[in-house]
C-alpha cells in the first residue's frame, strides 16, 4: 500500500515513542495538569493518556511488524496516527502549558507529517483492492453518519457564541479539529468508498480506527472518574461505549473483508531461487545466463 515503507515506519516509531513518553508521564504524575486543565476535565486527560499510551505501543509494534504485503498493518497504523494528531492537537490548541507542552507539540506535528508522508507515498497502482458491496456500503454509511451528526451539533454550538462575540475557555479545540479535519475526512473517504474507489476502500477503515480510539477514551474517562472523586455519568458512558463499539465493528468488518491482490512476484519482497529467475542476455557475447541470488 505504501512505498518508501522504511521512512513511514521510522516516523511511526518516533511518534509512538514520543507519545508513549508523554502519556506515561501524565498517567504517573497527574499533577502535571494542575493549573492548566480544569479539575473537572482531569479524568478525561487521564483516560486520554491511557489510550495514547496504548496507541504509542501499537505504533511501535506496527513499525516493527509492517511489511509491503501487510496492508492491514499499515491501515491500522494510519488510524493510530490520526488519533495522536487529534489527542495531542487538543493539548496544543488548548494551551496546556505544562512541562510537557513542547513534547505535545512534537507528537502533534510528527503525527501530521507522518500522515502527509503516507499520503504522498501511497501506491496508486498496487495492490488492486476489492470489498464486498454490502460491506462497502455499510462502512461508508457508518462514516457519513458522523458528519451528519457532528456538523449540525458543533455549528449549532458555535452560532450563539459568534452572535454574542463570546469566547469559551476550554474544549474549543474539539470543534476546530472536528470541523476542519476529521469530518471532512469522513465525507471524502465515505464518498470514495461509495464509488468503490481504491483510496476510499484502503483509507476509510483508518478513520474507523481513529473514531474507536477517540470515543473509547471518552468512555474510559467516565470509568476513571471515581479515581478523582467524581461520579460517572451513566448516560454519557453508554453513549460513548455504543459509538465506540460501532466504530470497532465497522473497522473490523471492513478490514476482515478487504481483499488485496498483488501482481506476481510482488506478494513477498524476497529474492527467488536462481532457477526461477528470468534469463538475461549479455550484450557483449549474446550468451544467456541465469541471475544469481545475492548473499
Q: How far apart are CA 6 and CA 270, in angstroms?
A: 16
- Long-range contact pairs involving 218-221 (C-beta distance under 8 Å, separation at least 24): 218/44, 218/47, 218/244, 219/244, 220/47, 220/50, 220/51, 221/43, 221/44, 221/46, 221/47, 221/48
Q: Look at residue 278 and tell me whether its pLDDT is greater than 70.
A: no
Predicted confidence (pLDDT) per residue in 75-109, tens digit: 999 999 999 999 999 999 999 999 999 999 999 99
Are 130 and 184 in contact by the 8 Å Cβ rule? The answer is: no
pLDDT score of 262: 66
Predicted confidence (pLDDT) per residue in 4-24, tens digit: 999 999 999 999 999 999 999
> Would you place residue 287 in the very low, low, confident or very high pLDDT band (cuts 50, 70, 90)?
very low
Which pTM value belongs to this model? 0.88
pLDDT score of 289: 40
> Would you place residue 261 in the very low, low, confident or very high pLDDT band (cuts 50, 70, 90)?
confident
Q: How far apart are CA 26 and CA 135, in angstroms?
A: 39
Q: Are strands 279-281 and 288-290 parallel, antiparallel or unpaired?
A: antiparallel
Cell numbers describing residue 132: 464486498
| 156: Cα separation from own chain's centroid | 27
Tell me the β-bridge partners of 2: 122
Q: How far apart are CA 135 and CA 132, in angstroms?
A: 5
- The residues near 194 (Cβ < 8 Å, ≥ 6 apart) are 136, 137, 140, 200
Q: Give the other-Cβ count within 10 Å of 153's Cβ.
A: 12
Are 144 and 188 in contact by the 8 Å Cβ rule? The answer is: no
In what helix (H) or strand (E) does residue 152 lie, and over which residues does it extend? helix 133-164
Tell me the β-bridge partners of 280: 289
**Lowest model confidence (mean pLDDT) among 60-69, 117-126, 170-179, 283-292:** 283-292
Sign of CA dihedral 287, 263, 72, 82: positive
Q: Look at residue 280 and tell me whether its pLDDT is greater than 50.
A: no
> Would you place residue 291 in the very low, low, confident or very high pLDDT band (cuts 50, 70, 90)?
very low
Q: How far, CA to CA in Å, does 50 sit from each of 53, 54, 224? A: 5, 6, 10
Cell numbers describing residue 219: 468512555
* Helix/strand/coil percent split, the chain, to 5: 70, 5, 25
pLDDT score of 169: 87
Q: Look at residue 284 and tell me whether its pLDDT is greater than 60.
A: no
Q: How far apart are CA 293 and CA 271, in angstroms?
A: 7
pLDDT score of 272: 36
Amino acid at each position: 500500500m505504501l512505498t518508501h515503507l522504511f521512512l513511514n515506519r521510522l516516523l511511526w516509531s518516533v511518534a509512538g515513542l514520543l507519545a508513549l513518553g508523554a502519556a506515561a508521564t501524565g498517567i504517573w504524575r497527574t499533577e502535571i495538569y494542575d493549573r492548566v486543565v480544569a479539575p473537572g476535565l482531569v479524568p478525561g486527560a487521564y483516560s486520554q493518556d491511557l489510550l495514547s499510551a496504548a496507541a504509542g505501543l501499537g505504533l511501535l509494534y506496527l513499525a516493527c511488524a509492517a511489511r509491503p504485503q501487510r496492508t492491514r498493518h499499515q491501515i491500522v497504523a494510519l488510524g493510530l496516527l490520526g488519533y495522536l494528531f487529534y489527542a495531542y492537537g487538543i493539548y496544543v490548541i488548548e494551551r496546556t502549558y505544562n512541562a510537557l507542552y513542547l513534547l505535545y507539540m512534537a507528537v502533534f506535528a510528527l503525527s501530521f507529517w507522518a500522515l502527509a508522508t503516507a499520503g504522498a507515498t501511497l501506491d496508486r497502482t498496487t495492490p488492486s483492492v476489492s470489498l464486498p458491496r454490502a460491506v462497502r456500503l455499510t462502512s461508508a454509511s457508518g462514516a457519513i453518519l458522523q458528519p451528519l451528526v457532528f456538523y449540525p451539533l458543533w455549528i449549532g454550538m458555535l452560532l450563539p457564541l459568534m452572535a454574542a462575540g463570546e469566547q469559551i475557555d476550554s474544549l474549543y479545540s474539539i470543534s476546530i479539529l472536528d470541523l476542519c479535519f476529521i469530518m471532512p475526512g469522513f465525507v471524502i473517504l465515505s464518498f470514495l468508498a461509495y464509488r468503490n474507489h481504491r483510496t476510499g476502500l484502503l483509507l476509510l477503515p483508518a478513520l474507523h480506527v481513529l473514531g474507536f480510539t477517540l470515543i473509547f477514551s471518552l468512555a474510559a474517562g467516565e470509568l476513571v472518574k471515581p479515581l478523582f472523586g467524581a461520579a460517572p455519568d451513566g448516560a454519557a458512558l453508554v453513549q460513548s461505549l455504543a459509538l465506540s463499539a460501532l466504530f470497532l465493528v465497522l473497522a473490523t468488518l471492513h478490514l476482515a473483508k478487504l481483499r488485496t491482490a498483488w501482481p506476481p512476484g510482488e506478494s513477498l519482497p524476497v529474492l527467488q531461487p536462481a532457477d526461477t529467475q528470468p534469463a538475461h542476455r549479455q550484450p557483449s557475447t549474446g550468451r544467456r545466463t541465469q541471475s544469481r541470488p545475492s548473499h
